[in-house]
Each structure stands twice: as C-alpha cells, then as structure tokens.
Structure 1
C-alpha cells in the first residue's frame, strides 16, 4: 500500500516535529518551513533536547501574534512546545 505524505495521520490537527533528528545547521530553516505551511487552528508539537530561547525570539519576530507557543515539558534534555497558528 503506497504512503501518501499529503494526508498524514495526526491527532486533531497536531503535527509532531522532532528537531533532535534534524542536523543542527538545518534546524531553524526546517522549523520555519514547517510552521509556514500550517493553517489557522493547526499545531506543531515541537520536540527538542534544549530550550530554544533564541529560536523563540526569531519566531516571535517573524510570525508575531499569529503564533502561540505553550510549553508541555521544559526539563533538561526534554523540551516539548506546542506552536499553534491562530487566525
């Protein structure tokens, strides 16, 4: 059975993005790209091994109030943030 990447299986509009598996030099570009294709109401659940404070500043400057960030976990070695696009 062929796989169709255009219709991924997601939990109520929440798309997982595990940055730990992306080469460091590509991470920010990949994250910006992933967030740019979300539609209002969709969420990217971001997994990382450290708290990405400089990235959060960059995202805030780029997306402004259209992007809401909420930490689900903020422990050393395990950071999970929900990024939600709002109308």
Structure 2
C-alpha cells in the first residue's frame, strides 16, 4: 500500500495595501492571470474585498478557488489558487500561459 503525498502549492505573496486604489483590481487580475496550476496568490488587504470577490467569481468561475486564511477587521488574508480546470495549456484560460 502506498502513502498519499499531499500536493504542494507554491504561494506568491500579494499585498494590496501598498497599491493605489485605482490600480488594485487591474493589478490583482494581472497577478492572477500569471498564475499556473499548482500556484496560489496570498492576498493581504486592510478590508474585506467583497465586490472584488464577486468580480473574480464572475470572471473565472471555478478556475480560481478563493479561501480565507484570516478574516478580521483590518486584517484580511485570502488565498486565490488556480484549479487548472480550464484546459491543457495551464492556468485558467484567461491569458496566455497563466490564469
């Protein structure tokens, strides 16, 4: 009987607090589109980005998983991971080579 090894996911930090508000969503989408299956973006922010989460679900559907790591006022940490369900080329099919 063989042991099952858990999958290792490479996590890339993304601190939105240092990005100008008018550039944040574009930067987040760009970062997500650079991810490949087996990679995640650990998003840090000072507020819960509920409108952004709705946009991500609408744009990527099941191709990007969203998992809160910390959800306290002033301290939000969310992992966005590419699930790899989009196709053979990797990512979530929204860009060239990435998510």
* TM tier, smaller: 0.7 to 0.9
Max radius of gyration: which structure? 2
The structure 1 segments of at least 4 consecutive aligned residues displaced by more than 2 Å after TM superposition are none
The equivalent of 1:50 in structure 2 is 47
Gaps of 5+ in 1: 1-11
Give the drift of 1:48: 0.2
Gaps of 5+ in 2: 1-8, 85-99
Q: CA RMSD in A?
A: 1.2
1:71 has 2:65 as partner: no
Paired residue total: 77
What TM-score do the two structures reach when normalised by structure 2?
0.75
* Alignment partners' CA distance in 2, 1:16 and 1:37: 13
